[in-house]
Each structure stands twice: as C-alpha cells, then as structure tokens.
C-alpha cells in the first residue's frame, strides 16, 4: 500500500510539474498589437499572405498576438515603411527586395537579369544558406528578415508596341523599382528607366508619364493595369522576391517563445504564399487577355539576345557586393540548376 501511495505521490508531482511548465509557457506569450504594411491590393497574393500571417500569429499565440494589415501603401511607400520598421513604429512589412537595396546593399544581387531560370531554382537558393546569409544582413540595419516570399518573374507592359526582340524596347519610358541594378539593366536594353514608387505607377501610366512598366502578371492583373496598358510581353527578365521583415526594435523585446511563434508563422506563410502565387500566375495570362490586353511570348532566341545585352551589369555592380556572399550566391544558383 505504501509503495502505491509513493508511486501516486510521484505521479502527482510529475503532473504538477508538467502543469506548472505549461502554465509558465502560457504566461510567456504576452498581448501584442502589431501592424503590417504592404504596397499591393488585398486581393493580390501579397494581401492573402499578410492575412494568413495574421491568422497564424493569432492561432499560435492563443489569440494574444493581434496583427492588423494595411494594403495599398496605406502606411507609406517602400522607403517610408523601411524607416518605420527601423524606428519601431511599425512591426512588419511585406515588400519587394529591390527597394531595400539602399538599406541592405547586398539585396541588389537578386536584381541581376536572367540569373534564375525557374521558381524551383530560386527556392533552393533563397531557402538555403545563401538566403539565410542575405536575411542576416538586415540585422545591423535595424531590421529582421524573416523569410523570402515570391513576387515572381517580371514581364514588360507598355502602350506603344509588343516587345518581341530587344530592339522593340529601345526608347520606351519604363518605370522600374528604385534599384541601381534594375535601372542599369533596363537602360542596357535600350529603354529609358524611370524609378517610381508603386503607389504612383497607375497614374503615371494613365497620364503617359511613362510608356510602360515591368511586373509579374498577378500584379498587373490586381492593379488593373489593363485599363491603362495595351501590351503585355512575357520576357521573364528577372525573378523578384518579396521579403517578410520585422522591426528589430520590436523583435528584441520579444522573449524566445514569442520569437518562435513569429518564426514558425512566417515559414508557414511562405509555403502558403508560394503555392497560391503560382496558382494565380498560371491563370493570369488568360485573365489579361479577357481584359483585351494583347499578350505575346518572347522567343527563347530573343530572350538570349536580351540576356547578352545585360551581362555587363554584373561586372559593373558585382564589385559593390559582399564578394564571398556573391561567390556563394552564384555557386548556389549553379548547383540548383543541376
């Protein structure tokens, strides 16, 4: 009888210890109210990713982490949001990597034209050690890079003519993101690059301030550029990523349990978003054609000519990047292609 009592007492002690651990774990998750800003519309995969991230944070925190999402550059343009993250007045953003290059210079290596051949290759590089090293570059800039999401392969729209060969690009005023590599690359193709914030783009197209722009198909559809653009040419000239970023000032106030919730939610959001973005992209061309946009595919031989015209950009800007990381980046791309 004494042995049974002793075992019961021991079991009760174990149960009490486990209960206490669970209680401590639950207490580690505090109430948080957070904001996440992004440039595109709520019905774009970027918007669905933001909402999914908010849902996952709430679910994993037992409803204690409340994330409010703001579409359409409501919290400011790309540069303004980066400043807000650094200042700790905004907790999260989802933005293309290109506008970050003024802050995290090495992100510029992602803007080299024709460097990725397909999404699978990009996933392997960005989810691997090179991608982690790139994200780590955020830390000394007051930012925490969580994961790379997908924007997709960018294509050119304009109001003048279909683009079937490099000569068709010459002389066009093309809006580009504020990235030196992208500006130079478009210039090498013979166009006149015009850096503009995305929030200003529709009006610039509508008024003829620029002849065209370059974006992945889901952005063109969601932003209703078919209303102000006639031609969509599938050039696939550069694979572009979004990055889900947190404010380091805010992140450093989190305890390990809270940081794990954010990290886990970001990884699940990445898987969800890439799948969704690729499903939307697969249907997007037909959607643009239904809106009376003229779509053409650029022949592989002409894409190769475009690639040749932009090769010198890497020679010009490659020296500006972390040389060891650039070497690893190019080696990872090569490995992924095999």
Residue 237 has pLDDT above 60, yes or no: yes
Tokens 């390990």 found at: 256
**Predicted confidence band of residue 27 (pLDDT cuts 50, 70, 90):** low
**Cα–Cα nearest to 213, from 242, 193, 227, 199:** 193
User: pLDDT tens, 83-126?
Assistant: 999 999 999 999 999 999 999 999 999 999 999 999 999 999 99
Confidence (pLDDT) at 294: 98
Query: CA of 333: how far to CAs of 38, 117, 137, 161, in Å?
Result: 28, 9, 19, 34
Residue range 165-187: mean pLDDT, rounded: 96
Confidence (pLDDT) at 212: 98
Domains located in the chain, CATH noted: 31-322 (3.40.190.170)
- Give the whole-angstrom CA distance, residue 248 versus residue 143: 5
Confidence (pLDDT) at 11: 44
Residue range 205-222: mean pLDDT, rounded: 97
**Cβ atoms within 10 A of the Cβ of 14, count?**
10
Residue range 286-307: mean pLDDT, rounded: 96
User: pLDDT tens, 180-207?
Assistant: 999 999 999 999 999 999 999 999 999 9
Confidence (pLDDT) at 13: 43
User: pLDDT tens, 124-150?
Assistant: 999 999 999 999 999 999 999 999 999
Q: Token digits for 221?
A: 């559809």
Q: Is 314 left (phi over 0), alpha (psi -120 to 50) or beta?
A: alpha
End-to-end CA distance of the chain: 69
Phi, psi of 233 (to 5 degrees): -115, 125
**Cα–Cα nearest to 14, from 297, 69, 6:** 6
Residue range 282-288: mean pLDDT, rounded: 96
């Amino acid at each position: 009888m004494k042995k049974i009592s002793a075992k019961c007492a021991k079991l009760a002690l174990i149960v009490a210890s486990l209960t206490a651990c669970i209680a401590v774990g639950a207490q580690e998750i505090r109430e948080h109210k957070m904001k996440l800003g992004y440039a595109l519309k709520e019905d774009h995969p970027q918007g669905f990713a933001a909402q999914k991230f908010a849902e996952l944070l709430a679910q994993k925190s037992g409803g204690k982490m409340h994330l409010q999402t703001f579409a359409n550059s409501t919290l400011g343009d790309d540069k303004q949001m980066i400043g807000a993250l650094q200042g700790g007045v905004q907790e999260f953003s989802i933005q293309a990597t290109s506008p970050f290059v003024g802050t995290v210079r090495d992100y510029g290596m992602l803007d080299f034209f024709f460097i990725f051949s397909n999404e699978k290759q990009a996933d392997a590089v960005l989810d691997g050690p090179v991608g982690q090293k790139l994200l780590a570059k955020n830390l000394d800039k007051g930012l925490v890079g969580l994961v790379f999401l997908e924007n997709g392969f960018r294509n050119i729209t304009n109001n003048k003519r279909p683009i079937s060969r490099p000569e068709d690009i010459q002389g066009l005023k093309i809006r580009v993101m504020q990235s030196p590599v992208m500006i130079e690359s478009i210039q090498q193709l013979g166009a006149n690059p015009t850096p503009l914030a995305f929030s200003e783009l529709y009006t610039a197209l509508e008024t003829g301030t620029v002849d065209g722009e370059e974006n992945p198909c889901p952005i063109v559809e969601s932003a209703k550029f078919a209303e102000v653009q006639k031609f969509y040419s599938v050039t696939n000239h550069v694979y572009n990523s979004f990055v889900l970023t947190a404010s380091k000032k805010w992140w450093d106030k989190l305890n390990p349990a809270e940081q794990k919730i954010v990290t886990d939610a970001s990884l699940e959001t990445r898987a969800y978003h890439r799948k969704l973005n690729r499903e939307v992209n697969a249907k997007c061309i037909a959607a643009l054609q239904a809106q009376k946009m003229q779509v053409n595919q650029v022949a592989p031989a002409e894409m190769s000519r475009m690639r040749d015209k932009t090769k010198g950009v890497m020679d010009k800007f490659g020296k500006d990047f972390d040389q060891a990381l650039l070497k690893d980046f190019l080696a990872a791309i090569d490995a992924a292609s095999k």
